[in-house]
C-alpha cells in the first residue's frame, strides 16, 4: 500500500484540528490579556481551601483549591501583579472595610474540558487605599495544583518585557527551527517543480514546523500572539498528536524499505479515541496526556528496533541523526513521566532537531541542485532523442509518439518533400542545403501545427479532425507561403542574390479510412499523393526551363 492514504489522513486530521482552533478562538470572548522587569512580592499567605458551592466544577468532580492573600500598600497606582497558572480557574478580590470586590476573573467554562487553559495573569491593583488582595485558584488536576506561586509586581509593560526577555533563549531556537522547516518545505516544492521530488524535505519540514508549534505553546510568547488560552490549549495537544504521524512518514521517506503502516494507523486511532473521549466529556486531553506520552515512548522504542533492522541501508548522516533524535525523545518522555509535567522538557531535543534540520537543508539543497542538473540532462537527452538538430522539429520518433496518442479515426497526414535539395547541396554546398532546410521547416510550421522532419528532405504534418476542404486550403496556403519566400528572398540569408536558390515543396494528404489499422497506412497514401504532386512540379519546371532556352536561342 502506498503512503498516499496516510498522508491524506494526516491532512484530514490537521484540517479538523485547525477548524476546532478557529472555533475556539471565536466562541471564547473577553479573555484578559497578557506580562516585565520581574520583581516578586514576598509575604504571601497561602493555604488549601475547601470546594465551595460556587465551584467551577460539578459535585462529582474532585477539585483542588488554593487561597492566597497579601496586604497592599497605600500607593499602587498603575501596578499589576502577575503569575502563571496551569489548567486552573482564578478569581482575585480586593478586601477592605467597605467589603469584597472582584478585581479579576479568569476561566471560561467550556463544554468539552475541565481546563480553562494555561495562562499568565495580569491582575490590576487598586490605585490607592489600604486593604488586602485575595486570590482563589481552583483546578481539577492534582498534578497541576501548586501550593504557592511566584507573584511578580510592576507595571504591565515592565512585566511583559520581563517575561519575553526571560524566554528569549527558548524562543530564538523556535524561530530558527520554524524557518528551517519552512525552508525544507520550499526545497520540496522546488524539487516537485523540477520533477525531482525530495519527499523527506516535506516530511521533515512538517515535523519541524509542528514541533516548533508544540514547544512554543508553554511560552508566554504564545499567549502574547494568540491572546486566547482555549486556542493555546488545543494548539498544544493537536501539535503533539500530529507529531508521531509526521515522524513516521519522515522515517519511511529516509529509511529504505521501512514499512511502519501499522504504527501509523495505531497512532491515528489513538488520536481519534482520545479526541472522542475529550469531546464527549469522559476525560479531557489533560487527563489522558500520560497515555499518549507513554505511547510516544513505546513508539520511540519500536522505531529504534524497526530502523535498526534497515540500518545498513541508510546513509551515515541519517543513521546518526535518527539515533540521536530518538534518544532525546526517550529522555523527554522519562522526564515528563517521572520528573515533571510542567515547564519545558524539549529544549535539548529542539537543539538536536535544529542541528539535524540545518544538515538536512544543506543535503536538500545538494539534492535539489543534483535534481536540477539531472532534469537538464534528461531534457537534453529527450531533445536529442525526439528532435531534429538542424530544424528543431520533431523527428520520426516524435511522430510515432504523438501519432500513438491521437485516436486513429481522427488522424489526417500531410506528406511533404523539399524539391531541389540535392541540386542546392551540389551547387551551393551543404551550407546552402542547411539554409534551404531551415526555410522549409519555418515555411511548413507557419501553416501546420505539428510538423516532423522524418528524412533528409521529407517532412510530415500531423492533423486532427480535418476534412478534405480544410486540407486543400492548408496546402494552398503552404504554396503561397513558399512563393512569398521566393519573392522576398530575405529568408535565404547569404544566398538571396542567387536566382537558382529557390524553395519548392511538394505536398500530398490522406485521412483515416475504415480499413486502416495504423497511422502508417494513412501515411503511405499521403506519400503517394505527394509523389504525384512532385512529378507535376518537376514537369512544370522542365517546361519552364525549355521555354527559357527557346527565348534565349
b/e map of 453-485 (b: 16 or more CB within 10 Å)? Answer: bbeebbbbbbbeebeeeebeebbeebbebbeeb
Instruction: Tell me what percent of the chain is helix, strand and coil, each rounded to the nearest 5.
Output: 60, 15, 25
Which residue do the cell numbers 512585566 mark?
Answer: 159
Look at residue 196 in the predicted model and tell me its pLDDT: 78
Which top CATH class is 39-154? mainly beta
What DSSP line would sit under 35-80, residue for residue? ----EEE---EEEEE---TT-SS-TTS--EEEEEEEEEPSB-TT-E
| Spatial contact of 285 and 241, defined as CB atoms under 8 Å apart | no
3-class DSSP state for residue 126? coil
Look at residue 35 in the predicted model and tell me its pLDDT: 38
Look at residue 164 in the predicted model and tell me its pLDDT: 87
| Spatial contact of 465 and 471, defined as CB atoms under 8 Å apart | no
CA distances from 406 to 76, 85, 90, 397, 414 (A): 85, 70, 74, 15, 15
Query: What's the rounded Cα separation, in Å, for the pair 314 and 317?
Result: 8
The kind and range of the H/E element at 506 are strand 505-511
| Spatial contact of 278 and 288, defined as CB atoms under 8 Å apart | yes
Query: What's the rounded Cα separation, in Å, for the pair 109 and 117?
Result: 10
Look at residue 364 in the predicted model and tell me its pLDDT: 65
3-class DSSP state for residue 508? strand
Residue ranges per domain, the chain? 4-28+169-374, 39-154, 396-552
The cell for 5 is 492514504
Q: At what angle do helices 261-279 and 229-254 cross, to 10 degrees?
A: 170
In terms of Cα–Cα distance, which of 65, 239, 204, 33 is closest to 140?
65
| Spatial contact of 177 and 212, defined as CB atoms under 8 Å apart | yes
**39-154 and 396-552: identical CATH topology:** no
Query: What's the rounded Cα separation, in Å, for the pair 503 and 482?
Result: 6
List the Cα angle 13/330/355 in 5-degree steps: 80
Query: What's the rounded Cα separation, in Å, for the pair 51 and 66?
Result: 10
For 260-280, the three-class secondary structure string (H helix, E strand, C coil) is CHHHHHHHHHHHHHHHHHHHC
- Taken as a whole, the chain contains a residue count of 553
Look at residue 351 in the predicted model and tell me its pLDDT: 61
In terms of Cα–Cα distance, which of 105, 118, 21 is closest to 56?
105
Look at residue 33 in the predicted model and tell me its pLDDT: 40
Q: 396-552 adopts what CATH topology?
A: Alpha-Beta Plaits (3.30.70)
Query: What's the rounded Cα separation, in Å, for the pair 223 and 351?
Result: 23
Phi–psi pair at 254, nearest 5 degrees: -105, -15
Helices (H) and strands (E) in the chain, counts: 14, 13
Look at residue 550 in the predicted model and tell me its pLDDT: 38
The cell for 316 is 551515515
Going by the DSSP 8-state scheme, the letter that residue 225 receives in this structure is H
In terms of Cα–Cα distance, which of 163, 156, 270, 180 is closest to 221?
163
pTM of the predicted structure, to 2 decimals = 0.61
CA distances from 168 to 15, 172, 210, 224 (A): 31, 6, 20, 14
List the Cα angle 358/359/361 in 5-degree steps: 65
Look at residue 4 in the predicted model and tell me its pLDDT: 64
Helices (H), 387-416: 396-405
Look at residue 330 in the predicted model and tell me its pLDDT: 67
Look at residue 548 in the predicted model and tell me its pLDDT: 38
Beta bridge pairs of residue 406:
none
| Spatial contact of 476 and 533, defined as CB atoms under 8 Å apart | no
Q: What is the chain's pLDDT, residue by residue, as a tens digit (553 residues)?
A: 455 666 666 666 566 666 555 555 544 444 444 334 478 888 899 999 998 888 888 888 899 999 999 988 777 778 899 999 999 999 999 998 888 889 999 987 766 778 888 899 999 988 766 789 999 999 999 988 999 999 999 888 999 988 888 888 878 888 888 888 898 899 889 888 877 788 888 988 898 899 889 888 888 888 888 888 888 889 999 999 998 999 899 888 887 788 889 999 999 999 999 999 998 888 888 889 889 988 888 887 888 788 777 767 777 766 776 676 667 666 666 666 666 555 555 555 666 666 666 666 766 666 666 666 666 667 677 777 888 889 989 899 999 999 998 999 999 999 999 998 999 999 999 999 999 999 999 999 999 999 999 988 999 999 988 899 999 999 999 999 999 999 988 889 899 888 889 999 999 999 999 888 999 999 999 999 999 998 888 777 654 544 434 344 4
Look at residue 122 in the predicted model and tell me its pLDDT: 94
Torsion-angle region of 266 (φ positive above 0: left; ψ -120 to 50: alpha; else: beta): alpha
Q: How many CB atoms are located within 10 Å of the residue 370 CB? A: 12
Query: What's the rounded Cα separation, in Å, for the pair 297 and 163?
Result: 32
Amino acid at each position: 500500500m502506498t503512503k498516499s492514504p496516510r498522508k491524506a489522513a494526516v491532512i484530514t486530521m490537521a484540517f479538523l484540528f485547525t477548524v476546532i482552533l478557529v472555533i475556539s478562538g471565536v466562541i471564547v470572548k473577553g479573555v484578559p490579556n497578557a506580562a516585565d522587569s520581574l520583581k516578586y512580592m514576598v509575604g504571601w499567605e497561602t493555604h488549601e481551601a475547601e470546594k465551595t458551592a460556587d465551584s467551577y466544577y460539578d459535585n462529582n468532580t474532585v477539585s483542588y483549591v488554593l487561597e492566597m492573600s497579601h496586604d497592599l500598600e497605600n500607593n499602587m497606582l498603575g501596578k499589576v501583579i502577575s503569575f502563571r497558572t496551569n489548567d486552573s480557574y482564578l478569581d482575585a478580590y480586593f478586601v477592605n472595610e467597605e467589603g469584597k470586590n472582584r478585581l479579576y476573573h479568569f476561566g471560561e467554562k467550556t463544554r468539552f474540558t475541565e481546563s480553562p487553559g494555561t495562562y499568565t495573569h495580569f491582575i490590576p491593583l487598586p490605585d490607592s487605599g489600604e486593604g488586602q488582595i485575595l486570590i482563589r485558584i481552583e483546578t481539577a488536576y492534582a498534578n497541576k495544583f501548586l501550593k504557592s506561586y511566584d507573584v511578580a509586581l510592576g507595571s504591565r509593560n515592565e512585566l511583559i518585557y520581563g517575561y519575553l526577555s526571560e524566554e528569549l533563549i527558548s524562543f530564538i531556537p523556535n524561530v530558527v527551527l520554524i524557518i528551517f522547516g519552512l525552508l525544507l518545505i520550499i526545497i520540496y516544492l522546488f524539487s516537485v517543480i523540477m520533477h525531482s521530488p525530495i519527499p523527506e524535505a516535506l516530511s521533515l519540514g512538517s515535523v519541524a514546523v509542528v514541533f516548533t508549534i508544540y514547544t512554543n505553546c508553554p511560552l508566554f510568547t504564545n499567549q502574547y500572539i494568540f491572546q486566547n488560552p482555549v486556542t493555546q490549549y488545543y494548539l498544544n495537544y493537536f501539535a503533539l498528536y500530529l507529531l508521531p504521524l509526521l515522524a513516521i512518514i519522515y522515517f519511511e521517506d529516509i529509511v529504505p524499505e521501512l514499512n511502519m503502516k501499522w504504527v501509523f494507523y495505531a497512532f491515528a486511532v489513538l488520536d481519534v479515541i482520545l479526541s472522542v473521549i475529550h469531546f464527549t466529556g469522559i476525560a479531557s486531553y489533560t487527563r489522558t496526556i500520560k497515555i499518549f506520552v507513554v505511547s510516544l515512548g513505546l513508539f520511540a522504542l519500536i522505531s529504534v528496533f524497526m530502523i535498526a533492522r534497515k540500518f545498513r541501508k541508510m546513509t551515515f548522516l541519517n543513521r546518526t541523526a535518527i539515533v540521536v533524535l530518538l534518544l532525546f525523545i526517550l529522555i523527554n518522555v522519562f522526564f515528563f513521566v517521572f520528573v515533571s509535567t510542567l515547564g519545558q522538557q524539549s529544549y535539548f531535543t529542539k537543539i538536536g532537531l535544529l542541528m539535524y534540520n540545518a544538515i538536512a537543508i544543506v543535503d536538500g539543497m545538494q539534492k535539489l541542485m543534483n535534481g536540477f542538473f539531472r532534469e537538464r540532462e534528461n531534457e537534453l537527452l529527450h531533445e536529442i532523442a525526439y528532435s531534429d538538430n538542424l530544424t528543431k522539429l520533431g523527428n520520426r520518433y516524435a511522430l510515432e509518439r504523438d501519432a500513438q496518442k491521437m485516436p486513429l479515426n481522427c488522424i489526417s497526414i500531410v506528406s511533404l518533400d523539399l524539391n531541389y535539395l540535392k541540386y542546392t547541396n551540389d551547387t551551393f554546398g551543404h551550407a546552402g542545403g542547411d539554409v534551404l532546410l531551415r526555410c522549409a521547416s519555418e515555411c511548413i510550421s507557419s501553416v501546420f501545427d505539428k510538423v516532423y522532419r522524418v528524412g533528409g528532405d521529407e517532412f510530415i504534418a500531423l492533423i486532427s479532425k480535418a476534412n478534405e476542404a480544410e486540407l486543400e486550403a492548408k496546402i494552398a496556403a503552404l504554396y503561397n507561403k513558399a512563393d512569398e519566400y521566393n519573392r522576398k528572398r530575405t529568408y535565404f540569408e547569404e544566398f538571396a542574390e542567387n536566382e537558382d536558390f529557390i524553395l519548392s515543396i511538394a505536398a500530398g494528404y490522406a485521412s483515416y479510412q475504415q480499413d486502416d489499422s495504423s497511422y502508417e497506412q494513412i501515411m503511405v497514401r499521403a506519400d503517394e499523393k505527394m509523389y504525384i504532386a512532385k512529378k507535376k512540379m518537376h514537369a512544370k519546371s522542365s517546361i519552364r526551363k525549355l521555354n527559357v532556352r527557346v527565348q534565349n536561342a
